[in-house]
Amino acid sequence: MKVFTYHRMAASVAIAATLAGCAGGDDSTPAANGNNTVASDSTSRTELSAADVPTTVQSTDYRAGAAAVLATENALANATDRIGAAKNIILFVGDGMGVSTVTAARILEGQMRGVDGESNQLAWDRFPFAALSKTYSANQQTPDSAPTATAMVTGTKTNDGVLGVSQQVRRGDCASTFGHELVTALELAELAGRATGVVSTARITHATPAATYAKSVERDWEDISDMPADAIAAGCKDIADQLVHFEQNLEARFPGANVDGIEVVMGGGRRHFLPKDAAFNSGDEISAVEGDRTDGRNLVAEWRAMYPAGQYVQNKAGFDALGDGATRVFGLFNESHMQYHKDIAKDRQGEPTLSEMTAKAIDVLARNEKGYFMMVESGRIDHGHHGGSAYSALTDTIEFAHAVQAAVEKTDRPTP
């Protein structure tokens, strides 16, 4: 399930229902109205409200539901002239979070808090609208994260396994990349002078976050060691390289553009940015040699050289030390994916939670008066399902809901 949060001069999304009834069609078929009298006009149609239902048959759930419907209808009616183009957009992606996962997480979260789980609400349950989407890719009924994330940020369906490029490419064929690059929402925000951010609990070079900034005919080309020699020779760049050099790449694609690069990058995946040399280990590595890069390059050092005022962090202490004045942050909190939320305390050097990263990212991005675009992914819900661990998937979903709530509390939406 993909959860979209639009805020500040934009509507949010959730479920709304309407409660209405109609009177009988002739004098012999009476209908009760608000005064408990008979509507006898055969040409009229009487719309009923919750108040028309006798209180003796109104349950607590009925009254609460009716009040929620009325509040939503009033908010929409009163806010119509206030809702315009969004200043800021946050795209939340719960990877692998289907309807059944949401239901189970909603119940579990309520039970963990000691309340009725079935009637509990997660953050997005309180939005006024909800929607379902079809998630097939251009060449498969069951897609992977690469084409689905690409579709979300470009509006274009593409083939399985490719990122930020159209369906005219051939997976794994570097030469087919050129001329078929798509434009993402993050890139449009950059070109418009807005701030941008990418946050994930997966490797930041993994398919969903990479779709916002990379152009690749193979989602697995996360660093140069993953690429075949012919692709390197043909001029394709690995995904980590494209992230660090995003600013230059975008300006090269749009001559005359002057962008300032992605302000916030936080997630896992340090190994794809570091040389394959134990001298560059980070202190909480899980491998004897943390880095995977076979070209000898240290992309963290390259990022620091390009953005000397930026702050690179790799553990919870570094994250917590980020001051109110932070304007650019590069956080890589694990060699591979970040910990499941249930295991976060086991990390040797500590990791921030998804809700903490979301809140901090908003603080940094909100400095841009023109607004911002940010993608936030809970990437390990899917991994929990793949691993057969319902508890991992559900507790990551609950933390994802906490991240959405953190964003709601950090932002403002139209007030009727």
Query: Which residue has 């590595």 as its token pair?
Result: 285
pLDDT band at 56 (very low <50, low <70, confident <90, very high): low
In the 8-state DSSP scheme, what is residue 118?
A: T
Q: How many helices (H) and strands (E) does the chain have?
A: 13, 7
Question: Among this protein's residues, is 28 annotated catalytic?
Answer: no
Query: For the segment 234-252, what is each residue's pLDDT rounded down to a tens digit?
Result: 999 999 999 999 999 999 9
The pLDDT value recorded for residue 165 is 97
pLDDT band at 62 (very low <50, low <70, confident <90, very high): low
Query: For the segment 268-303, what is each residue's pLDDT rounded down to a tens digit?
Result: 999 999 999 999 999 888 999 999 999 999 999 999
H helix intervals, 266-389: 299-306, 316-320, 354-365, 380-386
Choice among 12, 137, 145, 216 that is catalytic:
145
pLDDT band at 318 (very low <50, low <70, confident <90, very high): very high
The pLDDT value recorded for residue 262 is 98
Across the strands, what pairs with 3? 92
- Determine the angle formed by the axes of helices 390-410 and 354-365, rounding to 10 degrees: 30
